[in-house]
Structure 1
Amino acid sequence: MTFQTTDLCDANEGLLAEGRLRVLEPHFRHFGGRQRFSGPISTLKLFEDNSFVRKQLEQPGYGRVLVVDGGGSLRCALLGDQLAEMAVRNAWGGVLVYGCVRDTAAIGTLDLGVMALAPHPQKSLKRNVGEIDVTIAFGGVRLHPGEWLYADEDGVLVSETPLT
């Protein structure tokens, strides 16, 4: 991928002004082997339960980015190496977690974009509770299923439409 979020912001100042292109607050760290990733968004809303993360990543990703609103919890991880490997096998473009991840050394070797708030060694609960493809909000922006996410070393953008 050749885009840079800085260039996308500069080239789309009108979209930024209109709110059709939004910049997430810089709370996220890279953990995956791919630092730059993009794709249409699929969303999850859950709390300290990664059952639905598995359900989504078991499905073909078609280059999509799974955006997980984990409520910003820093008490357990919502993604580990096994689920990240599943994401690679099923052609997901990346995973952005508003929460924690674990097995970061292994995730760092995978050809997958992974961003999260922090690492955490404890796994999540398994209650099978969550919501799929709903509008979520964190990092100062609202994210809608089907919008486009662009992430690199400088930050994360969300656009209503694909950017060139």
Structure 2
Amino acid sequence: MSFATTDICDDNPGLLEDGRLAVLPPVFKHFGQNIKFSGPAVTLKVFEDNVLVRATLETPGNGSVLVVDGGGSLRRALVGGQLAVLAQNNGWSGVIVNGCVRDADEMNACAVGIRALATHPQRSNRKGEGERNLRVDIAGVPVSPGNWIYADADGILVAEQQLA
């Protein structure tokens, strides 16, 4: 995987200006062994309920990035160690959670990239509520299914198509 978010930004000023390339705010913490990851977005919108997150990570990821709009909730974790193992074993490139995660030590042992706002020890509800494959808002940035995600030590980018 040879890309740098800084180079993508430097090489695409027009896309940044017209919004076809966006930078997520620097509010996400890194978990998992893979600091750098990229792939097409698969989107979920849930609130304090991770049934759809688990169901999605149980399917083949084929190098995609699961983008979870958890509404920015800091009250419950949406992804934990078991789901990080699922992501790793099922070929997901990464997971971005606009919300919390838990089992940080277990996640950090997995060969997958995970970004989240914070950790929280309380697990999510399990009602199965939420939506898949829709445009979501992640920290003020719209992400649509199929948008291309690039994440590294410098930040997270959302592009309308593959750039690097």
Cα shift at 1:74: 0.5
**Counterparts in 2 of 1:94-113, with a 5 A limit?**
94-113=94-113
* Structure 2 gap ranges (5+): none
* Structure 1 gap ranges (5+): none
Which amino acid in structure 2 is aligned with residue 155 of structure 1? G
**Counterparts in 2 of 1:54-133, with a 5 A limit?**
54-133=54-133
Match of 1:36 in 2: 36
Are 2:148 and 1:148 equivalent residues in the alignment?
A: yes
Distance 1:79 1:22 in 2: 25
Match of 2:162 in 1: 162
Cα shift at 1:2: 2.0
Cα shift at 1:18: 1.5
Normalization by structure 2: what TM-score?
Answer: 0.98
Deviations 1:38-91 (A, max 9, x none): 000000001000000011001110000000000000011000010110111110
Distance 2:79 2:66 in 1: 11
Deviations 1:16-38 (A, max 9, x none): 11210011111101011100000
Secondary structure of the residue aligned to 1:116 is strand
Distance 1:54 1:138 in 2: 19
Match of 1:135 in 2: 135
Runs of 4+ in 1 over 3 A off after TM superposition: none
Match of 1:16 in 2: 16
Contact 2:72 2:139 in 1 (8 A): no
Aligned length: 164
Distance 1:139 1:55 in 2: 24
Cα shift at 1:140: 2.3
Contact 2:50 2:78 in 1 (8 A): yes
Secondary structure of the residue aligned to 2:25 is coil
Distance 2:78 2:4 in 1: 28
Distance 1:139 1:100 in 2: 13
Normalization by structure 1: what TM-score?
Answer: 0.98
